Amino acid sequence: MNSLWIVHRDPGQRARLARLAGAGDDTVLGHPADPVFEHVPPARMVLLGAEGDLEAELEFAHRAARRLPEAAWILLSGERAPGQVRALFDTLDAEILRDAGDARLLRWRIASGPSRRRAGSLPLSQRASRDLLAGRFARWFADLELPELLRALDPRLADVPLLVRGEPGTGRALLVRYVHAFGGTAGGALARVPCRSSLTGEQVARTIAARARTERGRRACTIWLEDADRLPAAVQQEIQGWIEFGPPEGLVRTRRVRFAATCAEEGRAGRAALAPGLAEALAGLCLRLPPLRERRAVVASVASDCARSWCEARALPRRSLDASAIAALEAWDWPGNLRELEAVVVQSLSASAADPLRARDLVHGGLPFGPGAPAERALELEEPAPREAPERVEPAPEVPIPVAASAEPSAVPAEEPAIPVELVGTALEDEESPAAPPAPPEPAPPGPEPSDAGLRRLARALSHELRNPLTSILTFAQILARQPVEPELADLAEQVGRDVKRLTGRLERLRQLAELGPPRPGRVDVSALLEELLEARRESIRSRRLLVLKELESREPRVISDPAQLRLAFECILDLALDLVPERGDLFIASRHHPSALAGRASLRVLLRCPSPGAAAGASGAGLSPAEHSLDLAVAEAALRRAGASLALDSSDPAETVLLTDLPA
């Protein structure tokens, strides 16, 4: 491979650049239109002068970039503004210099350019993610022979579309992420598009642009259509045109673009088929991932490797599964495939300290694992008693906002009353506590428990209607932040970006609430769940230097409730509390059994106490806590209500906010 091409219109400038660069015998010099570049071996570095009307230079870059996927480029802008050159060579991952007068600097850039381009300087966080990705890939696919995968990882085929078919849980998403991270688009942007039947072509384009127009997107981009067969036929046809004739102008900033799609297997019942035209456009490389029931021989190795990896990640002694556990796993049909298998192993390791794990230690969705076990156990669970209806302030369809008596009423449909949050002053009280519990509200007139279908429709509609405008606002803020503007505008753009990301997270919570199915009671280890959620937020806690104090129930930490509802509720509660705690502040979380806190029934009470905003600054006087207006609090209360639990908020003390949850025990 030739080490350097020097391309310039002016022969004198070519000779000057050759002297400055210390060009050797393997250097090729020529005019942008010189046919010599069509016949010499590829270069590892291209030094291109931007002169005249740039037409010859642009045509040279257009022809050569595809032939030199691994080469680094340096553009000499000369008298032109670097921004103008960047705009014209927009899809070329190049470094732009005004002048090459400093020989030492130019030689260093030529020598280090290819290595800097390949490395991408991954930060530590991304290196950890890459290692986790490689580890899971090795566990899931060690037994499969996938010759198409080796082709997909070839940098020379980085622009060949990739289609991955298989059942949910077989590793389709994992394979696409692996090809992106270790193939020809490594170091570039991954533009993931979760497909659904309501998307339009414009929405797909906006999603791709928001995720591809980053600094990493200048190097390469993988456009990943997740569940592409869910897209409407018209949108599939539009995307087919993007693949065959190139993406729309301005969609991506690089020539190294790969389209990848995941979808169900052909002929799968209950799923729309991938349009034949789009399937053919995507099938440059096509892989099928078999379901786990066709690979029963790997169940034991995947489970054992998952247990070893889980223990190593937490610096715990290595644990294993005995023969009875392996036999139970191998006998299962695994409708959720590899993802379900890993979930069973992780849940079992979290719920039990046994080593080795036996068949009776295995847990599946919060219930004992095994054929028929979840259904049998569900029949044994006591149905949670219905909650007493809260007191209605007014009988009209308008009901009060559930934060304070002085708040303005908010009109909602009569069929779906607002969800009140009880304001109480209480703590982890039991029958021996000197403080008397608050008086319960008067029950409403008897009547059927209102359905939450309206609430779920509202949550789904809000998430759908607001997500795309927020994406556009975030994209605009990111573009503005990269422009040479006044410091105040730059700070405002950064603040807008942070706010939009926060709102997007809240909308995701609404979407999760809307997608939750009917409650499925099971036994949930609340202490383990809280520990897991705190562990997931460790970096945020550490970066803000927060002190987290825990007194969690260890003897009987399990409750009878829906695992998915509780996870969503406690995610919201913890994030709400962490938002309230100032830097270097403290957070206290505890759990204890109470004999009659939940409508006269036993409960596991979880208390979370944190400083109220302004307390550290010496604010005085009782006031409304921001927690009372939080969307996280509303989502948590809705999820807990559906799970047969209750949530109470106490902000009467201006120095602290207390969140109290009672779960059926």
DSSP, residue by residue, 164-178: EEE-TTSSHHHHHHH
Confidence (pLDDT) at 277:
92
The C-alpha atoms of residue 429 and residue 593 are separated, in whole angstroms, by 9
* 325 conformational bin, left if phi > 0, alpha if psi -120 to 50, beta if neither: alpha
What are the beta bridge partners of residue 347? none
The C-alpha atoms of residue 413 and residue 462 are separated, in whole angstroms, by 15
Confidence (pLDDT) at 617:
43
Handedness of CA 627, 631, 632, 636 (dihedral sign): positive
Confidence (pLDDT) at 185:
86
SS3 at position 622 = coil
What are the beta bridge partners of residue 95? 74
SS3 at position 6 = strand
Q: Which of 554, 500, 545 is nearest to 526 (CA)?
A: 554
Q: Find the DSSP H helices in 120-200.
A: 124-141, 147-152, 172-182
Sequential DSSP letters for 476-524: HHHHHHTS---HHHHHHHHHHHHHHHHHHHHHHHHHHHHH--S---EEE
69: which DSSP letter?
Answer: T
The CATH architecture assigned to 4-119 reads 3-Layer(aba) Sandwich (3.40)
Tokens of 165: 């078919």
- 225: Cβ–Cβ under 8 A, 6 or more apart, which residues? 193, 195, 231, 239, 259, 260, 261, 262
**What b/e sequence results for 235-249 when a residue is b if at least 16 CB atoms lie within 10 Å of its CB, and e otherwise?**
bbebbbebbeeebee
**The Cα angle at residue 424 between residues 421 and 430, in degrees rounded to 5:** 120
Tokens of 47: 């030094």
SS3 at position 27 = strand
pLDDT in tens, 78-100: 878 888 888 888 778 788 887 77
pLDDT in tens, 212-253: 888 788 788 999 999 999 999 999 999 999 999 888 887 888
* 513 conformational bin, left if phi > 0, alpha if psi -120 to 50, beta if neither: alpha
Q: Find the DSSP H helices in 89-123.
A: 103-119
CA dihedral 347, 348, 349, 354 (to 10 degrees): 160
Confidence (pLDDT) at 410:
35
Confidence (pLDDT) at 212:
85
Domain ranges of the chain: 4-119, 125-290, 294-378, 453-664
Q: Which of 344, 189, 331, 319 is nearest to 260 (CA)?
A: 189
Confidence (pLDDT) at 465:
58
Confidence (pLDDT) at 486:
65
Confidence (pLDDT) at 618:
44
Helices 453-481, 487-515: crossing angle, 10 deg rounding: 160
The CATH architecture assigned to 294-378 reads Orthogonal Bundle (1.10)
Tell me the fold of 125-290.
Rossmann fold (3.40.50)
Sequential DSSP letters for 362-380: -EETTEE-STTHHHHHHHH
Class of domain 453-664: alpha beta
4-119 and 125-290 in the same fold: yes
Within 13 Å, how many C-alpha atoms sit on residue 643's CB side?
33
Mean pLDDT of the chain: 76
Contact (Cβ atoms closer than 8 angstroms) between residue 631 and residue 509? yes
pLDDT < 50 regions, the chain? 1, 118-120, 270, 372-451, 615-624
SS3 at position 594 = strand
